[in-house]
C-alpha cells in the first residue's frame, strides 16, 4: 500500500504524456484514416528539434513549443509529400500501415545518422518538489500534467466549439458526405495533421522531460502504450484515448511498483490484447463502427 | 443562369444539363455517353435495371467520382469534375443511397454540418425552417443518427441537405429500405413539395412507379446510356412499361412517340 499511492502519482504523469500522444495519434487516424506507426519516431524527431533549440540556449518550455511546431509542420509535410501519394493511388489501410512502418525506420535511421548512437538530455531543472498527500511531484512533472490538461481542454474546445472541429468530426465520420456538405476536406485533413503533429511534438518533449535522457528509439518504445490507450478508448475517439491513457498510464506504473518495473509495458500489452479480445471496438466505439460500415 | 429550353418538350429552362457523360471505376466505363437535364421546379426520375449505371451517373454529376468525358453544366456554368464541396457552394445538394447521414453525430450536429457554409445566425434560422418542414426531427435532436429508424434517417438526410436551400437536389434511391407507406410519404409529401417550391430534383429510384407518379420527366437508363427520355405520365401510360424499365423497349408500343424522344 505504501508503494501504491506514489505509483499512482507516477501513473498520473505517464497518463498525462500518454493522453497528449494518444489523442494526437487517434485524431490523426480518425480524420485521415491512416494508422501512422511512425508516430513514435516523429515524437523522437520533435524531441531532437527541441534539444537543438534548448542547446542553442532556448528555455526548455520555449523549446517545447519549438518541438510542437516542428511536429505540426513535419507531420503535415509527411502527409502531403509521402502518405497522400499512396492514398491517391488507392492504397488501403493495411498497405498504408506498411508505408508508415517504412517511414518509421527511415526517420529512426536518419536520427541515428545525424545524432549518433548515444543518450541526450535537455538543459533544464526539474524544479522544487511538491508533496500531494504521499505523492511527490517535481515542478516539471506538475507542468507536464498542467500542459496535458490544457491540451485536452483545447482539443475538446476545438472539436466541439469551432467550425474546424465540426469539419474534422464530419470528415472523420464520412468524408464523402462532408465534401458534399461543402467542407473542403483536403484542408481539414491538413489541419488535422497540423494539430495532431503539434500534440505529437508536445508529447515527445514531455516524454523526454520525464525520462531525463533519450535516444533515437525513445519515441518508438512509447508507441505500444500509445496504441494500447487509443485502442482501449476506441480507435479514432479522442475522448476514448484520454480515458485509455489514464487507464494504461496508471495501470502500468502500479504494476511497475507492485511487481517489477519491467512489467510496465507488459501491462499495456495485456490490456491491448484483452481489449482486442473482449471489446475490439474499444470503450467508445462509434467512430470505429462507422468506419467499418463506410469501408 | 438557367439555359433556355429549345427542345419543344414544354419543359422549363434547364438548370442542370448533362451532355454525353462517361464515367466509371478503375478504368471500367459504366456510364457511356449519357445525357439528361433538369429544370427549376422540375422533378426528373431516372429508372432502369440494376447495374444500368444510374448511381454512377449521379456520382459523376455530384463530383464523387471523376467524369471520363462529357460535360456537366449547372445554371449555365461548366462544373464537370468540380469537387463536391464547390458544387455544394453552387447550390447542389446530394443525398446518397447509403451512408447518407453522419452516423456518430447527433441529429442536431448533422443539421449543423449541413449548414456548414452558413453563418451562425443563418444556420440557426435554417435549422428552424428545416425543422418546420420535418417536425418529427424536433423530438430527436440529441439522438445519435445511427440510432434512427430507416424513415427518420432518410428524413434527416434530406433535412441536412436542405440546410443550404439547394437549387438542385440529387437523390440516389431515396426510398430504399423504406416501407411502401414511408416511401409514398417521402416522395409525395416532401419531394413533391420541394419541386413545387422551385427546387430542381433529380432522382434515381428502383421503386419506379412511385417515383414516376410525382415526376415531370423521366429517363430510362440501361447499359450506361439513356434509352428513353419522356414525360413521366407518358412513360407510366405505356403498356410495355415492364420492358421499358428494363431498357428492352425504347419505342412506344401503344402511344405516339414520347414527346422529345432522346435529348
Residues of A in contact with B112 (CB under 8 A): 166
CB contact under 8 A, A174 and B102: yes
Q: Which residues are B228's β-sheet partners?
A: B220
* A61, A205 Cβ separation under 8 angstroms: no
* B100, B157 Cβ separation under 8 angstroms: yes
Q: Which residue out of A181, A188, A235, A289 would a mutagenesis test of the B interface target, given it has the greatest number of B Cβ atoms within 10 Å?
A: A181
How does pLDDT run across B242-256, given as a tens digit for each residue? 766 766 666 654 444
C-alpha cell at B177: 429500405
Q: Please give, rounded to a whole number of angstroms, the shortest distance from the CA of A243 to a CA of chain B.
A: 19
C-alpha cell at A38: 511512425
CB contact under 8 A, A170 and B113: yes
pLDDT at A90: 86
Closest in A163, A182, A286 to B89, CB measured: A182
Q: Which residue has the higher pLDDT, B119 or A125?
A: B119
Residues of B in contact with A172 (CB under 8 A): 104
pLDDT in tens, chain B (263 residues): 444 444 566 777 889 999 999 999 988 999 999 999 999 999 999 998 888 999 999 999 999 999 999 999 999 999 999 999 999 999 999 999 989 999 989 999 999 999 999 999 999 999 999 999 889 899 999 999 999 998 899 999 999 999 999 999 999 998 887 788 888 888 888 888 888 989 999 999 877 888 899 999 999 998 899 988 999 998 888 877 776 676 666 665 444 444 444 43
Cα separation of B39 and B217, whole Å?
10
Q: Which fold has domain B16-95+167-245?
A: Rossmann fold (3.40.50)
Three-class SS state of A82: helix
Cα separation of A144 and A8, whole Å?
16
CB contact under 8 A, A289 and B146: yes
CA–CA–CA angle B183, B189, B192 (5° rounding):
100
C-alpha cell at A49: 528539434
> Which residue of chain B comes nearest to A174, CA vs CA?
B102
* B34, B57 Cβ separation under 8 angstroms: yes
* B34, B225 Cβ separation under 8 angstroms: yes
Cα separation of A14 and A22, whole Å?
12
Closest in A170, A182, A289 to B102, CB measured: A170
The sheet carrying B77-78 orders its strands as B28-38, B16-25, B67-74, B77-78
Residues of B in contact with A183 (CB under 8 A): 85, 113, 116
Backbone angles phi, psi at A91, to 5 degrees: -65, 130
DSSP code per residue over B166-215: -SEEEEESTTTTS-HHHHHIIIIIIIHHHHHTT-EEEEE-SSHHHHHHT-
Cα separation of A118 and B246, whole Å?
73
How does pLDDT run across A71-86, given as a tens digit for each residue? 999 999 999 999 999 9
> Which residue of chain B comes nearest to A236, CA vs CA?
B104
Residues of A in contact with B171 (CB under 8 A): none
Backbone angles phi, psi at B111, to 5 degrees: -65, -40
* B25, B65 Cβ separation under 8 angstroms: yes
pLDDT at B205: 86
Three-class SS state of B69: strand
C-alpha cell at B232: 413521366
Residues of A in contact with B146 (CB under 8 A): 286, 289-290
Residues of B in contact with A180 (CB under 8 A): 62-64, 84-85, 87-88, 93-94, 96
Residues of A in contact with B94 (CB under 8 A): 180
In the block, cell 523526454 appears at A208
Q: Please give, rounded to a whole number of angstroms, the shortest distance from the CA of B256 to a CA of chain A.
A: 41
Residues of A in contact with B83 (CB under 8 A): 179, 184
Instruction: Report domain A4-294's class.
Output: mainly alpha
Q: Which residues of B126-153 are buried (b: 16+ CB within 10 A; e: fewer)?
A: bbeebbebbeebeebeeebbbebeebbb
Chain B residues whose C-beta is within 8 A of a chain A C-beta are 62-64, 83-85, 87-89, 93-94, 96, 99-105, 109, 112-114, 116-117, 144, 146, 160, 164
pLDDT at A127: 81
A147 pLDDT above the threshold of 60: yes
Closest in B100, B101, B116 to A166, CB measured: B116
Cα separation of A201 and A91, whole Å?
27
CB contact under 8 A, B102 and A179: no
How does pLDDT run across A155-213, given as a tens digit for each residue? 999 998 899 999 999 999 999 999 999 999 999 999 999 999 999 999 999 999 998 89
Q: Which run of H or of E encompasses B231?
A: strand B225-231
Closest to A141 in 3D by CA, of A156, A151, A131, A133:
A131
Residue A292, chain B, CB below 8 Å: the answer is no
Closest in A172, A173, A182 to B116, CB measured: A182
Residue A290, chain B, CB below 8 Å: the answer is yes
Residues of A in contact with B64 (CB under 8 A): 176, 179-180
Q: Which residue out of B25, B82, B84 would a mutagenesis test of the A interface target, given it has the greatest number of A Cβ atoms within 10 Å?
A: B84
CB contact under 8 A, B103 and A293: yes
CB contact under 8 A, B87 and A167: no
Residues ≥6 apart with Cβ < 8 Å to A7: A253, A254, A256, A257, A258
How many helical (H) and strand (E) elements, i.e. helices and strands, does chain B have? 10, 10
Residue A110, chain B, CB below 8 Å: the answer is no
Which ranges constitute the DSSP H helices of chain A? 4-32, 39-55, 60-78, 84-88, 93-115, 139-161, 163-173, 175-180, 185-211, 218-221, 223-233, 238-258, 264-278, 286-294
Cα separation of A196 and B249, whole Å?
57
Banded model confidence at residue A283, pLDDT cuts 50, 70, 90: low
- Percent over 70 (pLDDT), chain A: 94
Three-class SS state of A136: strand
Residues of B in contact with A238 (CB under 8 A): none
pLDDT at B187: 87
Helix axes A4-32, A223-233, angle to 10 degrees: 70
Q: Give the HSE-up count for residue A115: Cα atoms under 13 Å, Cβ half-sphere.
A: 22
Residues of B in contact with A171 (CB under 8 A): none
What interface predicted TM-score (ipTM) does this complex get?
Answer: 0.85
C-alpha cell at B49: 435495371
The residue count of chain B comes to 263
* A218, A206 Cβ separation under 8 angstroms: no
* A221, A104 Cβ separation under 8 angstroms: no
Residue A24 burial (10 A CB sphere; 0-12, 13-18, 19+) = buried
Q: Please give, rounded to a whole number of angstroms, the shortest distance from the CA of B18 to a CA of chain A.
A: 19
Residues ≥6 apart with Cβ < 8 Å to A179: A185, B63, B64, B83, B84, B85, B88
Banded model confidence at residue A132, pLDDT cuts 50, 70, 90: confident
CB contact under 8 A, B146 and A179: no
Cα separation of B246 and B16, whole Å?
25
Cα separation of A17 and A73, whole Å?
21
Residue A156, chain B, CB below 8 Å: the answer is no
Amino acid at each position: 500500500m505504501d508503494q501504491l499511492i506514489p505509483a499512482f502519482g507516477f501513473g498520473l504523469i505517464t497518463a498525462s504524456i500518454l493522453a497528449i500522444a494518444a489523442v494526437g495519434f487517434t485524431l490523426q487516424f480518425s480524420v485521415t484514416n491512416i494508422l501512422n506507426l511512425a508516430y513514435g519516431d516523429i515524437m523522437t524527431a520533435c524531441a531532437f528539434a527541441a534539444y537543438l533549440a534548448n542547446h542553442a540556449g532556448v528555455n526548455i518550455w520555449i523549446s517545447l513549443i519549438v518541438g510542437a511546431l516542428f511536429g505540426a509542420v513535419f507531420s503535415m509535410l509527411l502527409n502531403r509529400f509521402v502518405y497522400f501519394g499512396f492514398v491517391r493511388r488507392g492504397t488501403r489501410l493495411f498497405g498504408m500501415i506498411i508505408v508508415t512502418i517504412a517511414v518509421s525506420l527511415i526517420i529512426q535511421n536518419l536520427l541515428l545518422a545525424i545524432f549518433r548512437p548515444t543518450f541526450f538530455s535537455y538543459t533544464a531543472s526539474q524544479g522544487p518538489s511538491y508533496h500531494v498527500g504521499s505523492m511527490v511531484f517535481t515542478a516539471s512533472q506538475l507542468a507536464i500534467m498542467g500542459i496535458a490538461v490544457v491540451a485536452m481542454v483545447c482539443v475538446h474546445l476545438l472539436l466541439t466549439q469551432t467550425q474546424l472541429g465540426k469539419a474534422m468530426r464530419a470528415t472523420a465520420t464520412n468524408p464523402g458526405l462532408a465534401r458534399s456538405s461543402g467542407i473542403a476536406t483536403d484542408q481539414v485533413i491538413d489541419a488535422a495533421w497540423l494539430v495532431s503533429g503539434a500534440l505529437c511534438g508536445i508529447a515527445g518533449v514531455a516524454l523526454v522531460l520525464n525520462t531525463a535522457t533519450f535516444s533515437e528509439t525513445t519515441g518508438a518504445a512509447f508507441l505500444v502504450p500509445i496504441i494500447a490507450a487509443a485502442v482501449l478508448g476506441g480507435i479514432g475517439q479522442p475522448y476514448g484515448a484520454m480515458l485509455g491513457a489514464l487507464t494504461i498510464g496508471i495501470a502500468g506504473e502500479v504494476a511497475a511498483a507492485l511487481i517489477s518495473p519491467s512489467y510496465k509495458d507488459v501491462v499495456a500489452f495485456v490490456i491491448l490484447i484483452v481489449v482486442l479480445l473482449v471489446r475490439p471496438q474499444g470503450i467508445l466505439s462509434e467512430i470505429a463502427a462507422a468506419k467499418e460500415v463506410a469501408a | 443562369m438557367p439555359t433556355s429550353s429549345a427542345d419543344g418538350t414544354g419543359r422549363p429552362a434547364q438548370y442542370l444539363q448533362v451532355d454525353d457523360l462517361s464515367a466509371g471505376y478503375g478504368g471500367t466505363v459504366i456510364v457511356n455517353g449519357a445525357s439528361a437535364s433538369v429544370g427549376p421546379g422540375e422533378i426528373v426520375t431516372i429508372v432502369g435495371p440494376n447495374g444500368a449505371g444510374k448511381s454512377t451517373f449521379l456520382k459523376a454529376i455530384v463530383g464523387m467520382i471523376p467524369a471520363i468525358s462529357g460535360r456537366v453544366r449547372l445554371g449555365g456554368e461548366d462544373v464537370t469534375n468540380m469537387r463536391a464541396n464547390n458544387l455544394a457552394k453552387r447550390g447542389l445538394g446530394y443525398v446518397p443511397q447509403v451512408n447518407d447521414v453522419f452516423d456518430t453525430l447527433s441529429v442536431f450536429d448533422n443539421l449543423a454540418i449541413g449548414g456548414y457554409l452558413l453563418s451562425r445566425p443563418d444556420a440557426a434560422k435554417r435549422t428552424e425552417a428545416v425543422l418546420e418542414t420535418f417536425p418529427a426531427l424536433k423530438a430527436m435532436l440529441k439522438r445519435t443518427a445511427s440510432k434512427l429508424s430507416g424513415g427518420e434517417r432518410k428524413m434527416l438526410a434530406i433535412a441536412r441537405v436542405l440546410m443550404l436551400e439547394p437549387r438542385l437536389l440529387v437523390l440516389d434511391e431515396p426510398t430504399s429500405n423504406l416501407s411502401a407507406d414511408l416511401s409514398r410519404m417521402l416522395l409525395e409529401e416532401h419531394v413533391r413539395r420541394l419541386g413545387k417550391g422551385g427546387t430542381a430534383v433529380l432522382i434515381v429510384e428502383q421503386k419506379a412507379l412511385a417515383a414516376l407518379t410525382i415526376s415531370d420527366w423521366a429517363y430510362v437508363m440501361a447499359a450506361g446510356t439513356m434509352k428513353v427520355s419522356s414525360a413521366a405520365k407518358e412513360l407510366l401510360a405505356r403498356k410495355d412499361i415492364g420492358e421499358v424499365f428494363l431498357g428492352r423497349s425504347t419505342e412506344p408500343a401503344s402511344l405516339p412517340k414520347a414527346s422529345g424522344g432522346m435529348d
